[in-house]
Amino acid sequence: MTDKTASGDVRLAGISKHYGSFTAVHPLDLTIPQGSFFALLGASGCGKTTTLRMIAGLEEPSTGTVSLGDREVTHLPPYKRPVNTVFQSYALFPHLSIYENIAFGLRRRGIKSVKKQVDDMLELVQLGQFAQRKPHQLSGGQQQRVAVARALINHPQVLLLDEPLGALDLKLRRQMQLELKRIQTEVGITFVHVTHDQEEAMTMADTVAVMNGGRVEQLGAPAELYENPRTTFVANFLGTSNLIEASVESAGTDVVVSASGTTLRLPGQRCSTTPRAGGKLLVGVRPEKISLVHADEEHTVAAGRNKIAGRIADSSFIGVSTQYVIDSRVCPELEVYAQNIERDARLVPGAEVVLHWNPEHTFGLDAAMDIDAGVETVEESA
């Protein structure tokens, strides 16, 4: 073979998994670069754990191969793969000290002098002062760090993490996200992290693969996925998108569309489908890209902005921002997030308003896709 993958890349080639007549993972090709922090993101049941287990060797693929660099490992048992897994249930040994929990992998391999390595790991996860405690004497986040240290001491090429922060409360989870990211940067080992939490995936990963129904819908850097979703599922699952059904008036470098008599523009290159005059397009814009003014101030809106007239249906003050729901002819419920800097007291439910945004911040999706795909799945837990 002539491909130039680095020796530690994880390569999945056409792997799929069937359970009877049910396909949990459709044939999947994926390369996870060595040293990257990679996230598999998707709602419960979309095939994340199955994919991870096939990498670990805990599940045999129905088709396809798993390779680490040039080495195919598809038929190797888990313990012969240079891979370790950290699960949501940390499964620490309750009767062993933290020190012995971390030393376990080394001792099992018959290594006698473990002190230096265990001390290094304790330092890496910042638990040195707890070495002699038992797991139940640590907090959830600390136990999770022990689980990570216990896996990393085996120097795996790849660390697989299956919803490892799922059992922690929100604040601790946010702390642990940063902590895991720091650890990954420090050790430079490939992390493949499974989560249903889009914020978690975006915070931690260099690359996120968004899974839906056993397929990867889109893969990319968090900002790229967020700014340029290519499917309605990704647009709705990753944050919130306003999607507007529109007819294409003209298509070129700039695309001009019409939605219930309102003209909107967007760059042709931001369309995931080729728009054709006379055809349909779903026009997308993120809530934070939109500005809101009272209808009386419409004259202050600069020329060239996309503009929609509407009425405030609902507003919620959430501290850093106020979230508005706007009814308009163009779209029933447009969401707008306005940073709380100077608030116009007239912007209350019932007020007539004008929404406006830079056409550059607009993206276009294939109108044949389900406009609500991915909307309800965000809050579902694993």
Ligand X SMILES: Nc1ncnc2c1ncn2[C@@H]1O[C@H](COP(=O)(O)OP(=O)(O)O)[C@@H](O)[C@H]1O
Among 16, 31, 36, 49, binds ligand X (CB under 6 A): 49
Would you count residue 48 as binding ligand X (CB under 6 A)?
yes
Closest CB to ligand X among 16 and 34? Answer: 16
Tell me the DSSP string of 340-362: SSS--TT-STT-EEEEEE-GGG-
Check binding of 88 to Mg ion (CB under 5 A): no
Identity of the residue, 21 or 253, whose beta carbon is nearer to ligand X in the bound complex: 21
Q: Which amino acid is at 143?
A: Q
Partner that binds at residue 24, options Mg ion, ligand X, none, CB closer than 5 to 8 Å by kind = ligand X
Does position 47 interact with ligand X (CB under 6 A)? The reply is: yes
Nearer to Mg ion among residue 49 and residue 85 (C-beta): 49
Give the side-chain half-sphere CA count within 13 A for 180.
Answer: 35
Q: How many chain residues are in contact with ligand X, going by CB under 6 A?
A: 12
Alpha-carbon distances, residue 259 vs 245, 283, 328, 329 (angstroms): 6, 9, 11, 8
49-57, 170-178, 199-207, 344-352 -> range binding Mg ion (CB under 5 A): 49-57
Q: Which stretch binds ligand X (CB under 6 A): 47-55, 110-118, 227-235, 363-371?
A: 47-55
In the three-class reduction of DSSP (H, G, I as helix; E, B as strand; rest coil), residue 92 is classed as coil
Q: Give the separation between CA 125 and CA 174, rounded to whole angstroms.
A: 16
Residues in contact with Mg ion, counted by CB under 5 A, come to a total of 1
49 binds Mg ion (CB under 5 A): yes
> Using the rule CB under 6 A, which residue among 27, 33, 35, 45 binds ligand X?
45
CB 84 within 8 A of CB 55: no
Which parts of the chain are beta strand (E)? Answer: 10-19, 22-32, 37-41, 63-68, 71-72, 83-86, 158-162, 190-195, 207-212, 215-220, 242-250, 254-259, 262-267, 280-285, 291-294, 306-317, 321-328, 334-339, 352-357, 363-365
Query: Which of 43/68 has CB closer to ligand X?
Result: 43
Contact between 227 and 368 (Cβ < 8 Å): no
> Which part of the chain contacts Mg ion (CB under 5 A), choosing from 16-24, 42-50, 88-96, 321-329?
42-50
- 382 interacts with ligand X by CB under 6 A: yes
User: Where do contacts with ligand X occur on this chain (CB under 6 A)?
Assistant: 19, 22, 24, 42, 44-50, 382
